[in-house]
Amino acid sequence: MKKWNLVIDVKKCFGCEACAVTCHDEYHDNEFPGYAASMAKHGQRWIDVLQREKGRFPMVEVVHLPVTCNHCDDAPCVKAARDGAVRKREDGIVIIDPVKAKGQRQLVDACPYGAIHWNGERQLPQAWPFDAHLLDEGWTRTRASQVCPTQAIRTVHADDEEMQRMVAREGLEVLHPEYKTGPRVYYKNLDHYFNAFVGGTVAGNAGGVTECVEGAEIVLKRGGLRIAATRSDAYGDFKFRGLEEGSGGHHIEIAAERYLDKAIEVDLASSTYLGTIALEARAPRSR
């Protein structure tokens, strides 16, 4: 049978938080018997948007990662619940029963993703129920999918085989696959959030004039192997993305017309801006 999945393209998310706001609008001060009790006004974000700043001025990237309940096929919260307080529906959605789950704070600790929140006023563990009350009424998308201005969030209704074909075709990933919980929230371009970049600005002095060097060929190597190459833009800037944080030694080679080649060693711990890289002009040829 078809099951519900969420696909989030990290590269398209710019942190407007419309998904988080519409979740609060839907669940705060509203009761949906069998699905969810009212969400606390403060201190809970059933859909949250994490933010990271990478690099340093003037080469800085701010990236965002929407996170929520993963509606796992092998959900730890289901195992930790007493009296059937958490159930996994046949359509893939995990529901924390707003009556049976009362007082079961162990469910908060059971979730390795930190997606279950404790409502102290109600003594109730709560999580985003995938807008199941709306889907059961015939909706085809969650509210978060509807309001996302860049379509970074997609609601996908597909059987498992079709979903796995999409995973392979689009290169989708899940958060923390090492947890082995079988999440139904998938991510595209996840490395955009977790991985590092290294960049710099190439400048040179030829004929007494300092200039940005456009079109310089920059090669990135690791362990003697070429792993990426690019060219500097009109401002002399270049950037290599998708590098593993803490991956250590990298070697950068720069070659440009009218300038001597230059090599730089980079010990990559996190995203790094190398600053202005000055090239020395080639000596003019004698006639």
- Per-residue pLDDT tens, the chain, 287 aa: give them: 999 999 999 999 999 999 999 999 999 999 999 999 999 999 899 999 999 999 999 999 999 999 999 999 999 999 999 999 999 999 999 999 999 999 999 999 999 999 999 999 999 999 999 999 999 999 999 999 999 999 999 999 999 999 999 999 999 999 999 999 999 999 999 999 999 999 999 999 877 788 999 999 999 999 999 999 999 999 999 999 999 999 999 999 999 998 999 999 999 999 999 999 999 998 766 55
Does 258 lie in the same domain as 180?
Answer: no
Does 32 lie in the same domain as 103?
Answer: yes
- Out of 174, 193, 212, pick the residue that ends a domain: 193
Does 201 lie in the same domain as 160?
Answer: no
CB 104 within 8 A of CB 85: yes
Instruction: CATH number of the domain at 214, please.
Output: 2.60.40.10
- Out of 193, 226, 253, pick the residue that ends a domain: 193
DSSP H helical ranges for the chain: 18-27, 76-80, 106-110, 132-135, 143-147, 160-170, 191-194
Does 275 lie in the same domain as 139?
Answer: no
How many domains in the chain? 2
In a domain, 226, yes or no: yes
In a domain, 286, yes or no: no
Does 242 lie in the same domain as 120?
Answer: no
In a domain, 287, yes or no: no
Q: What are phi and psi of 79, to 5 degrees?
A: -70, -35
CB 231 within 8 A of CB 217: yes
In a domain, 52, yes or no: yes
- Out of 135, 170, 193, pick the residue that ends a domain: 193
Does 223 lie in the same domain as 177?
Answer: no
Instruction: CATH number of the domain at 188, please.
Output: 3.30.70.20
Does 177 lie in the same domain as 67?
Answer: yes
In a domain, 239, yes or no: yes
Does 185 lie in the same domain as 50?
Answer: yes
Q: Which residues have CB under 8 Å from 232's CB, separation 6+? A: 201, 202, 212, 213, 214, 215, 216, 218, 238, 256
Does 173 lie in the same domain as 81?
Answer: yes
- Secondary structure (DSSP) of 189-254: STHHHHSEEEEEEEEEEETTEEEE-TT-EEEEEETTEEEEEEE--TTSEEEEEEEPTT-EEEEEEE
**Nearest-CA neighbor of 239 among 274, 268, 194?**
274
Distance CA 265, CA 276 (A): 15
In a domain, 285, yes or no: no
Q: Which residues have CB under 8 Å from 244's CB, separation 6+? A: 195, 196
Does 15 lie in the same domain as 141?
Answer: yes
Does 201 lie in the same domain as 154?
Answer: no
Distance CA 19, CA 202 (A): 40
Does 229 lie in the same domain as 118?
Answer: no
In a domain, 217, yes or no: yes
The boundaries of the domain holding residue 215 are: 196-280
Distance CA 179, CA 192 (A): 21
